[in-house]
């Protein structure tokens, strides 16, 4: 039976590869990579009872500033600072309703994302995480992530609050380790901020830290990406997530593309290979 299942899986994979290439003009190399990733994910998901379980996503829609490429639903904290407590009041009501709605099911994972969750003050973060613990049964949760995200919003005090709750994974996202690019894309933090935030998290005992990177950022070629990878590899994060820049209509970068037309946008095979080498090291 196992042999038959493997055979069916192989046929599925072949069909998936063929469809991606014929219908969506995906290169054979990328189609192969997509199938390999799907297979890995399938192995992880196999042990999860999705029918009787669920995952909780909590969004904090504020950021220190809005990145040039951003199309997420997030606003600058400076404009909404006085309303964050109101937002939390409403969020907690919604969490209560979700708890009632999903209560017979098993909670598998919690992800606090955004926006930038660490724009919350330590007191606000503590209030949110206390509510998660109070409302939901976390005894079967396999992962509890807080996307700290922007290094300019991460402080030792906030990380200590996360440590005081059952958060198992955080994300410290440089996107790039080139200051020139950070300035261009409006991140308003420095490379040193990223290193400091990462090292503080490590010193407090976080043993599952992800770092998000973006390839294809304006003005970045293989040299800049290699520099970023070298710096990130030195920090030894537990995961590296590499995104390819996807410009959606609402992003400022897409709206004002003519201002950036002299800047190159590259996501070559060479860049992808450099990232793959770094991620599998």
Interface positions with ligand SF4 (CB under 6 A): 63, 66-67, 70, 72, 74, 114-116, 149-150
Q: Phi/psi zone of residue 110: left (φ > 0), alpha (ψ -120 to 50 degrees), beta? A: beta
Cβ at position 189, least distance to ligand SF4 in Å: 10
Of the two residues 17 and 252, which places its CB atom closer to ligand SF4 in the complex?
Answer: 252
Cβ at position 162, least distance to ligand SF4 in Å: 18
Of the two residues 72 and 80, which places its CB atom closer to ligand SF4 in the complex?
Answer: 72
Of the two residues 169 and 189, which places its CB atom closer to ligand SF4 in the complex?
Answer: 189
Of the two residues 97 and 250, which places its CB atom closer to ligand SF4 in the complex?
Answer: 250
Cβ at position 194, least distance to ligand SF4 in Å: 13
Of the two residues 109 and 119, which places its CB atom closer to ligand SF4 in the complex?
Answer: 119
Q: Which residue has the tokens 């970068």?
A: 253
Cβ at position 45, least distance to ligand SF4 in Å: 26
Q: Could you give the strand order of the β-sheet that contains 239-244, starting from the edge strand earlier in sequence? A: 53-60, 106-114, 143-149, 169-172, 209-215, 239-244
Residue nearest ligand SF4, CB atom distance: 70
Element (H, E) at 148: strand 143-149
Pairing relationship of beta strands 106-114 and 53-60 according to DSSP bridges: parallel
Q: In whole angstroms, what is the distance from residue 258 CA to residue 42 CA?
A: 42
Cβ at position 61, least distance to ligand SF4 in Å: 8
């Amino acid at each position: 039976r196992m042999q038959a299942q493997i055979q069916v899986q192989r046929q599925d994979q072949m069909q998936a590869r063929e469809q991606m290439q014929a219908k969506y003009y995906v290169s054979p190399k990328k189609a192969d990579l997509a199938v390999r990733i799907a297979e890995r994910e399938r192995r992880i998901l196999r042990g999860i009872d999705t029918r009787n379980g669920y995952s909780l996503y909590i969004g904090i829609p504020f950021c220190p500033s809005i990145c040039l490429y951003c199309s997420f639903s997030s606003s600058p904290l400076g404009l909404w600072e006085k309303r964050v407590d109101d937002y939390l009041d409403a969020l907690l009501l919604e969490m209560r309703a979700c708890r009632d709605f999903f209560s017979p099911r098993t909670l598998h994972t919690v992800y606090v994302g955004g926006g930038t969750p660490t724009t919350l003050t330590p007191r606000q973060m503590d209030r949110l995480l206390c509510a998660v613990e109070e409302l939901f049964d976390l005894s079967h949760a396999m992962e509890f992530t807080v996307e700290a995200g922007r290094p300019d919003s991460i402080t030792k005090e906030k990380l200590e609050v996360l440590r005081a709750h059952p958060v198992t994974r955080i994300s410290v996202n440089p996107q790039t380790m080139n200051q020139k690019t950070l300035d261009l894309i409006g991140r308003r933090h420095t490379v040193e901020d990223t290193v400091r935030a990462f090292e503080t998290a490590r010193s407090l005992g976080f043993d599952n830290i992800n770092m998000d990177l973006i390839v294809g950022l304006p003005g970045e070629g293989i040299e800049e990406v290699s520099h970023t990878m070298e710096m990130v590899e030195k920090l030894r994060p537990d995961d590296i997530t590499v995104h390819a820049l996807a410009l959606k209509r609402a992003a400022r970068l897409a709206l004002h593309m003519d201002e950036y037309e002299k800047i190159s946008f590259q996501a070559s095979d060479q860049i992808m290979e450099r990232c793959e080498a770094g991620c599998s090291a």
